Structure 1
């Protein structure tokens, strides 16, 4: 996205942000996660540390947090760029990374996906250096503990381990239940506790998957003008 435009600008590769991925909608900002969320809010305001890495298990909300940082940074008038590395590895690393240091905030989602790919490791290493020299910021997300990342470029591994690191804990089942209900309410739906509990007992514990199922329920409920009940959820979600 560009700081001189009033609306987000998508890359030609089709990278964009989801509207709902804001700090206000992140329901995992509880307990030990309060500190990393506060640090990321400060980071998005162009304050605090220049290089930050967040890590946690799949479904812990890392993608949501990185996109929330981009939304918040954009609100502060900063030039920002979000890159989901899982979708980028098929492209030439140099063509993607060159010039990114012009962005004031760069968020790389899923550094795990470039480990062992020489061109990408070199591209991210140079990006670290170029952003540092420009006085700009880099935020990286990893589903692997930073010391355990199988990076083959020692200089990049050193940069990664030299970043300020925060661990984002996954929600427990009760918190996920509350998150489902809160997200449903935000969409204008009334989700009884028994429906949320039914979904949690039958579906994946991954919050991304749970919210995807909620999207399906929302669409079906609007189309059929039905309230959320356990039989309706079972019918729509095939659980």
Structure 2
């Protein structure tokens, strides 16, 4: 039996088989020198406060870090002593929506990821409409993430469309290549790895462009370098990542 207090995950998360990424924190979310996305972090860190927004909607392309931010918000809520639930709808779209969302209005924060995967389906839209009404009436917070803005999503239920636009809407901006290299180096430093600019650029030039896959590659390099007691050099990266 898992002790949900020690694991840092709510009983609901455990029952759904959902595990939050331990590395998904606001501190680990790289802010580019131009301060793009800095306002998003500020809004999310105060969402649970009395002055925070009840509803926040984040949207952006693949790999910009929306899943990271939603999971980071759950971690942040739990650190503050609150209750939170992260729901990756791309993985849960086959579930019965009314049953999945039942009782969540008792939590301080609910994070709905990949909303675009379930919209356009009558059962999901009815359940989400009911859920948003309950959350608003109970004064609880909702954080949503999707590939597109609320107005661009394929919503059939007009009343649900209005609910998606209730609060703040932010587009999460992608990092340029220089910022992605800097983000890789910062994450490597957090892992205790030394990643030179040259090797970071090499990884970026050969790997998938989105941040999630770049960081997954870095975790693999971390594990293998630890096992083999090797530094991160271009030949080592080539071998481990199959470039």
The TM-score bracket by the shorter chain reads over 0.9
For residues 129-152 of structure 1, the C-alpha deviation after alignment (integer angstroms, 9 at most, x for no partner) is: 001111111110111122110111
| TM-score w.r.t. length of structure 2 | 0.93
Residue matched to 1:199? 203
TM-align CA RMSD:
1.5
The reply to whether residue 52 of structure 1 matches residue 56 of structure 2 is yes
Q: TM-score, normalised by structure 1?
A: 0.94
| Residue 40, structure 1, aligned to residue 40, structure 2 | no
Q: Are 1:67 and 2:68 an aligned pair? A: no
Out of 144, 148, 161, the position equivalent to 1:140 is 144
Alignment of 1:79 with 2:83, yes or no, is yes
Moved over 3 A (4+): 4-7, 44-47
Q: Which of 7-16 and 198-207 deviates more?
A: 7-16
Cα deviation for residue 115 of structure 1 reads 1.4
CA shift in 2, pair 1:56/1:46, >3 Å: farther
Task: Provide the rounded CA distance (Å) in 1 between the counterparts of 2:50 and 2:15.
Answer: 26
Structure 2 residues without counterparts, runs of 5 or longer: none
Aligned in 2, Cα 1:29/1:37: closer, same or farther, shift over 3 Å? farther
Following superposition, the deviation at residue 45 of structure 1 comes to 3.8
Post-superposition CA distance 1:32-82 (Å, at most 9, x none) = 311111011111445321111011111111111111111111111111111
Question: What CA distance in whole angstroms lies between the structure 2 residues aligned with 1:205 and 1:212?
Answer: 12
Contact 1:28 1:61 in 2 (8 A): no
Aligned length: 236
Question: Is the 1:44–1:72 contact (alpha carbons within 8 Å) kept by the matching residues of 2?
Answer: no
Partners of 1:95 and 1:223 in 2: CA distance? 44
1:5 positional shift: 4.3
**Where do 5+ consecutive residues of structure 1 fail to align?**
none
How much does 1:125 deviate?
1.0
